[in-house]
Structure 1
Amino acid sequence: MASTRDVEMSRVDEDRETFLPPPAQQRRSTETNYPPALVATVVAFYFIISLAVVFLNKFILSSSEYKFPYPLFVTWFQLLAALGLLVAWAYLGQYKKLFSIIPPYEFDFNIAKRVAPLTVVYVLMLAFNNLCLQYVEVTFYQVARSLSIHFSILFTYIILKKKTSTAAIGACAIVFLGFVIGSYGEINFSWEGLLYGVGSSAFVALYGIYVQKSLAIVDNNQWRLLHYNTTLAILILLPMVVLSGELTEIMNNVQFLDEFGFWLLMTVTAATGFGINIAMFLQVKYTSALTNTISGTAKACVQTMLAAVIFKNPISVTNGIGILLALFGSGYYGYIRYKERVSR
């Protein structure tokens, strides 16, 4: 669930790994000039909803009065809530044009079997993502997961046999340098968080490639794919929650399961996760590919600054340099890929 930039371009967007990218070919060959106020509103909505996804997840996992360090269960609950919202939105779409972007819910077992490999990658991506967020500060979150670009290039070459330009590889070198320097300078460094971040990056890259391969199964309709992916992810992740011991620990150790405030926080967080689908759809429809690239990079910068203020995350000089390099390299990579596409 991310923007309709092509899969490699979507690597520069922070939250794209949690959300399904629509097919790149849906973008019109000629961009429509929409009113600046509309474009600004759409970008602002994307900023707010995507920042909320990261901060609310961090808040639940390690910072709130309802501290709930069970990332697999949190992910499973969010998927369950997202499926409910998806079905409700699709139902309303049959009667209200405003909601008509999502087709009626469907689940065909034969199609589901073909989508299943994508869902396995999707589940692992979500799990590693929330595990990373649990162990690292939000200021370091961007750096810990910045290698998704590198894995994308690697897997694209291995699986799709596509080469990457020298300029794009140069941008990746800047990101990697930022990753190393930022990791070295991180004050609250966590090997677990770093490893989960690298794992998340790898599955983000694989997910993008598998989405490209899977869209044809559902006639290149990203919303139909979302139906199958979300449903299968719920079924696959539930045994992982049980086998990990999280469910037992929750039942034995958590004292606030009967509190309305806790479930409200969990539901709001899940709703923002679903909302990013709508935000991405609107941003792709009403803005250009270049605007998407700039927006994603700017959002990552704002996210880092807000994290330092809200969570009081300490940032050393070395860590700050690493963060800036990773952000600059990611943005530069996105710009290069954009220029390469428009010049074809």
Structure 2
Amino acid sequence: MSNEKHEKFLPSPAVHRAGPQHSLWSIISAISFYWFASLSVVFLNKAILSNSENKFPYPLFVTLFQLVVALVLLVVSGHLGKRNRLLSMVPPFEFDLDIARSVAPLSVVYVLMLTLNNLCLQLVEVTFYQVARSLSIFFNILFTYLMLRQGTSSGAMIACSIVVLGFFVGSYGETNFSWPGLLAGVGSSIFVALYGIYVKKTLSIVDNNQWRLLHYNTLISIFLLTPIVVFSGELQEMWREVYFLGDLSFWALMSFTGVMGFMINTAMFLQIKYTTALTNTISGTAKSCVQTLMAMVFYQNPISAMNGFGIFLSLFGSGLYSWVRYAEMQRK
């Protein structure tokens, strides 16, 4: 599964009240683990889909395979969690048909979010990836008003305006511009925003336990995506065109990427547990900045001055929006 989309598994953390003080080593370890898992997913998926010597341009199959890996890990973690304190946060796997029916709309949104995210990552440069997907803030504000009838503060609207401006400036200045990649990024942003809203609406069905929700969501998503992969023609094309399907190293890479996608959930849980809401917010924004800088160094993508300014505006606006929302939570 792909990077930012996996971070949406968990709902936004509540502001931490007075609680136990954790050691500096625990805090640093939690943040480092989150950064490692999140950055790994982005660059590994990019390598699989478009940048590796063994190019594998099948985003639907990649998404399905990584969901299967996540489901296996959920089942195993839930079983081991009965005896292992480290995994006790993951409940035993369960399936109730009535709950599944209620979770299904969320899973439809989730499948579209993951698929479009991987397609965007395949079609655009990693340096432009954050810009292509930056409109999730705009759509979050829009859908929150349309679906939940909740307004947004002027500060958040200003931050959102900066993000939107960065999107247009960055898109116009992108050297290796791709309309399909841009549209996939916008589509992914739409479903990221919808996913966050549907998670909040669906959590009560599973007693506000995000891991139980993840059980149902992952399994249902596999059922939804499997026929799409079959009828898309990806399997037939893979069989004809891909000469390295028997290469164990390729499947090891695919499996490791799936493991990292699953680990983002644990990493987010630990980062929320061992840090404050503000640290969690700053960490996510800083990680996006580092991700863009790493892509510039690793891939040597040509970046025009306008494109660079657009990337800066998108990252700055996203960070400002996170700060404004955090300050609002503190006041409440």
Q: Name the TM-score class by shorter chain.
A: over 0.9
For 2:74, give the aligned amino acid: L
* 1:203 paired residue among 191, 195, 201: 191
Determine the C-alpha separation between the residues in 1 that align with 2:8 and 2:82: 22
* 1:106 paired residue among 94, 119, 123: 94
Determine the C-alpha separation between the residues in 2 that align with 1:37 and 1:195: 42
Number of the residue aligned with 1:189: 177
Determine the C-alpha separation between the residues in 1 that align with 2:312 and 2:122: 22
Whether the 8 Å CA contact 1:105–1:227 is kept in 2: the answer is yes
The equivalences for 1:308-327 within 5 A come to 308-327=296-315
The equivalences for 1:264-343 within 5 A come to 264-343=252-331
Q: Deviations over 1:177-227 (max 9, x none)?
A: 110110011100000000000000000000000000100110100000000
Number of the residue aligned with 1:140: 128
Q: CA deviation at 1:98?
A: 1.3
If the length of structure 2 is used for normalisation, what is the TM-score? 0.97
Determine the C-alpha separation between the residues in 2 that align with 1:323 and 1:190: 16
- Residues 190, 175 of structure 1: alpha-carbon distance in 2 compared, 3 angstrom cutoff: same
Number of the residue aligned with 1:123: 111
Q: Secondary structure at the match of 1:220?
A: coil
Q: Deviations over 1:124-171 (max 9, x none)?
A: 000000000000000000000000000000000000000000110000
Q: CA deviation at 1:41?
A: 1.4
For 2:26, give the aligned amino acid: L
For 1:110, give the aligned amino acid: D
Q: Deviations over 1:268-327 (max 9, x none)?
A: 111100110110010000011110111011000100010011122111111100000100
Determine the C-alpha separation between the residues in 2 that align with 1:24 and 1:150: 17
For 2:200, give the aligned amino acid: Q
Whether the 8 Å CA contact 2:7–2:268 is kept in 1: the answer is no
Number of the residue aligned with 1:57: 45
Determine the C-alpha separation between the residues in 2 that align with 1:28 and 1:343: 13
Whether the 8 Å CA contact 2:4–2:38 is kept in 1: the answer is no
Determine the C-alpha separation between the residues in 1 that align with 2:225 and 2:297: 34
Q: CA deviation at 1:19?
A: 4.0
Q: Which moved more, 1:88-97 or 1:55-64?
A: 88-97
Q: CA deviation at 1:31?
A: 4.7
Determine the C-alpha separation between the residues in 1 that align with 2:57 and 2:292: 22
**Does structure 1 residue 30 correspond to structure 2 residue 46?**
no
The equivalences for 1:157-306 within 5 A come to 157-306=145-294
Q: CA deviation at 1:18?
A: 2.5
For 2:267, give the aligned amino acid: A
Q: Secondary structure at the match of 2:90?
A: coil
Q: CA deviation at 1:30?
A: 2.5
Whether the 8 Å CA contact 2:14–2:277 is kept in 1: the answer is no
Whether the 8 Å CA contact 2:10–2:268 is kept in 1: the answer is no
How many residues are treated as equivalent by the alignment? 332
Q: Secondary structure at the match of 1:182?
A: helix
Determine the C-alpha separation between the residues in 2 that align with 1:255 and 1:33: 54
Determine the C-alpha separation between the residues in 2 that align with 1:181 and 1:233: 35
Determine the C-alpha separation between the residues in 1 that align with 2:202 and 2:107: 10
**Does structure 1 residue 92 correspond to structure 2 residue 85?**
no
For 1:111, give the aligned amino acid: I
Whether the 8 Å CA contact 2:144–2:150 is kept in 1: the answer is yes
For 1:321, give the aligned amino acid: F
* 1:80 paired residue among 68, 71, 90: 68
For 1:67, give the aligned amino acid: K
Whether the 8 Å CA contact 1:148–1:204 is kept in 2: the answer is yes
Structure 2: give runs of 5+ residues left out of the alignment: none
Structure 1: give runs of 5+ residues left out of the alignment: 2-13
Determine the C-alpha separation between the residues in 1 that align with 2:16 and 2:221: 31
Determine the C-alpha separation between the residues in 2 that align with 1:182 and 1:103: 43
Q: CA deviation at 1:242?
A: 1.3
Identical pairs, percent: 60
Determine the C-alpha separation between the residues in 1 that align with 2:129 and 2:246: 31
- Residues 23, 297 of structure 1: alpha-carbon distance in 2 compared, 3 angstrom cutoff: closer
- Residues 294, 20 of structure 1: alpha-carbon distance in 2 compared, 3 angstrom cutoff: closer
Determine the C-alpha separation between the residues in 1 that align with 2:317 and 2:269: 26
Determine the C-alpha separation between the residues in 1 that align with 2:147 and 2:17: 27
Whether the 8 Å CA contact 1:20–1:222 is kept in 2: the answer is no
Q: Secondary structure at the match of 1:295?
A: helix
